[in-house]
């Protein structure tokens, strides 16, 4: 069993840390709001007063935060991760951020003879809890192989994608599909409902046929009843879409459908729905059609 550190214990990070605890690892953690991590402390996690302290105590360090700015905040400064990294330590960041930023931070970690991997997760809080998430890793392959067994405690499917940043490239390619699929589903739903098919019946049919991906099976029912707490809100989804579009400009890959769906996410935010699950894309279309249900 390993001495593991985890910085960023939100909806996804906290669940990843819990899986490491359940696997028998000694886990030290830090979160900006300590009260949000109390359930993990109750489960046996140790507390670190700063990202640096967690990094200093760990053989393998993880982090999972919301965006580029948040990753920069925990990485730099006197209390940041970089100051606590030790020679030979492996640091796996699971955040969905810019591949370019991740590569830059990995180069700085290498200056301290530490290894930084990007290991974003494909999955929801539910799939992560159930051990069904898919992890995509980029970085030094020997460092990856060193920590592969620990990564598999978080999710059994762990795929090495190549050098630094390549895990994030793949994650953005995966995530842009999510709202694009949901947009098409929502348009089909709208057409059926306006044509006289009850909403519940249309959901049943669409999720029973060939279009029903696991992502749609999870979110399709949300058009009938939205969850009180978003599994993945509009703000976060649009952040990932913008990252994908930035990458598309770097590599010369046109993403016309992704660009269109990003605008629908902007409309959702303009309607005050930014904190709702991105399944509200159906609600945006319904509003455009004059439906208020």
What pLDDT, on a 0 to 100 scale, did the predictor assign at position 186?
97
Per-residue pLDDT, averaged over 5-31, amounts to 96
Tens digit of each residue's pLDDT (9 = 90 or more) over 130-146: 889 999 999 999 999 99
Tens digit of each residue's pLDDT (9 = 90 or more) over 93-115: 999 999 999 999 999 999 999 99
Using 50, 70 and 90 to split pLDDT, how confident is the model at 293? low
CATH 3.40.50.300 fits 176-288, yes or no: no
What pLDDT, on a 0 to 100 scale, did the predictor assign at position 232?
93
Question: Phi and psi for 61 in degrees, rounded to 5?
Answer: -115, 140
Q: Which CATH superfamily is domain 3-162 in?
A: NAD(P)-binding Rossmann-like Domain (3.40.50.720)
Terminal alpha carbon distance of the chain = 53
What pLDDT, on a 0 to 100 scale, did the predictor assign at position 127?
87
Residue 133 makes CB contacts below 8 A (sequence gap 6+) with 121, 122, 123, 127, 154, 155, 157
Quote the pTM value.
0.94
**pLDDT tops 90 at residue 5:** yes
Copy the structure tokens of residue 1: 């069993």
Tens digit of each residue's pLDDT (9 = 90 or more) over 22-79: 999 999 999 999 999 999 999 999 999 999 999 999 999 999 999 999 999 999 999 9
What pLDDT, on a 0 to 100 scale, did the predictor assign at position 291?
86
Domain ranges of the chain: 3-162, 176-288
């Amino acid at each position: 069993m390993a001495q593991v550190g985890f910085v960023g214990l939100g909806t996804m990070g906290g669940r990843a840390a819990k899986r490491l605890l359940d696997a028998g690892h000694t886990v030290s953690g830090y979160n900006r709001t300590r009260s949000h991590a109390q359930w993990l402390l109750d489960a046996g996690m140790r507390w670190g007063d700063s990202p640096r302290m967690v990094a200093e105590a760990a053989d393998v360090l993880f982090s999972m935060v919301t965006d580029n700015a948040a990753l920069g905040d925990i990485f730099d400064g006197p209390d940041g991760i970089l100051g606590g990294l030790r020679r030979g330590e492996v640091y796996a960041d699971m955040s969905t951020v810019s591949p370019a930023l991740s590569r830059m931070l990995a180069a700085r970690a290498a200056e301290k003879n530490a290894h930084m991997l990007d290991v974003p997760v494909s999955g929801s809080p539910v799939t992560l809890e159930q051990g069904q998430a898919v992890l995509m890793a980029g970085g030094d392959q020997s460092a990856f192989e060193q920590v592969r067994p620990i990564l598999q405690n978080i999710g059994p499917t762990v795929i090495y994608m190549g050098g630094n940043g390549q895990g994030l490239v793949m994650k953005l390619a995966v995530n842009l599909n999510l709202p694009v699929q949901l947009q098409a589903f929502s348009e089909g739903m709208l057409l059926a409902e306006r044509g006289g098919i009850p909403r519940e019946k249309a959901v049943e049919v669409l999720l029973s046929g060939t279009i029903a991906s696991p992502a749609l099976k999870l979110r399709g029912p949300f058009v009938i009843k939205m969850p009180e707490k978003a599994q993945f809100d509009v703000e976060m989804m649009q952040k990932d879409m913008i990252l994908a579009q930035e990458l598309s400009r770097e590599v010369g890959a046109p993403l016309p459908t992704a660009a269109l769906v990003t605008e629908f996410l902007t409309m959702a935010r303009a309607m005050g729905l930014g904190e709702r699950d991105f399944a509200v894309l159906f609600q945006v279309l319904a509003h455009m059609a004059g439906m208020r249900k």
